[in-house]
Copies of this chain bind each other. A is one copy, B any other.
Amino acid sequence: MMATGQALTRRDWVKAALAALAEGGVEAVKVERLARSLSVSKGSFYWHFKDRGDLLAALLAFWQDELTAQLIERSADLPTPRQRLETLAQLSLEAESEGVNVAEAEGALRAWAAQDAAAGHGCRLVDQQRIDHVASELALAGLAPAEAELAARAIYLTLLGIYAARRYTPELAGDAPFRAIVAIVLDAAAQSSARAG
């Protein structure tokens, strides 16, 4: 056991990697660079990880298993679909985890996914999962299944657009258009619901 509490853990490296990813993309996630940022040497890294791919896989898993699930959970206990979706929209744009802006990391992840098969697979899974979730909420809000599916994809693509744009124009890609789209779709769902019942 350690007494000083200064020893690094695998999770510390993953968190540092996430911060580097959010700021500079996958290409900024370098072993020696992270070591310097953690004030240790490469020797430490290669004790915790087999190689760089091992770290990247852990980073991807961390994002899939923790960051993503956490968002949905934090909006799950609200009463109406509209409230849940509006909160989810807000969290998607503002959430921070361990001092890292999640939106920045999301944008960098998509860029990574374009070049790496494993990252691409992870993004596809997460995207599908989130779109399904939004579509089911929209169906609860009153949209027909086909409309809900289409609207969910449109909303999610807009979110991805914000993730991409924010990385090079933080102020221009504000969240007003995103909120507007969510509101428009929810209003349409409400009307559809009113007509149906």
Those of A100-153 within 8 Å (CB) of chain B: 107-108, 110-111, 113-115, 119-120, 123-124, 127-128, 150-151, 153
Residues of B within 8 A of A151 (CB): 177, 180
Q: Which of B115, B162, B168, B184 contacts A123 (CB 8 A)?
A: B168
In this assembly, does A85 line the interface, its C-beta being within 8 Å of a C-beta of chain B? no
Interface size (A, Cβ < 8 Å)?
42
Question: How many identical chains are in the complex?
Answer: 2
A167 and B25 form a contact (CB under 8 A): no
Q: What is the distance, in angstroms, from A30's C-beta to the closest C-beta of chain B?
A: 13
What are the interface flags for A140-183 relative to B under an 8 Å C-beta threshold, 1 for contact and 0 otherwise? Answer: 00000000001101101111111111011100110011101100
28 contacts between A and B (CB under 8 A): A25-B111, A25-B115, A27-B27, A110-B164, A111-B164, A113-B168, A119-B168, A120-B169, A123-B168, A124-B168, A124-B169, A127-B172, A128-B172, A150-B177, A150-B180, A153-B177, A154-B158, A156-B161, A157-B158, A157-B161, A157-B165, A157-B173, A158-B161, A160-B161, A160-B164, A161-B164, A164-B164, A181-B181
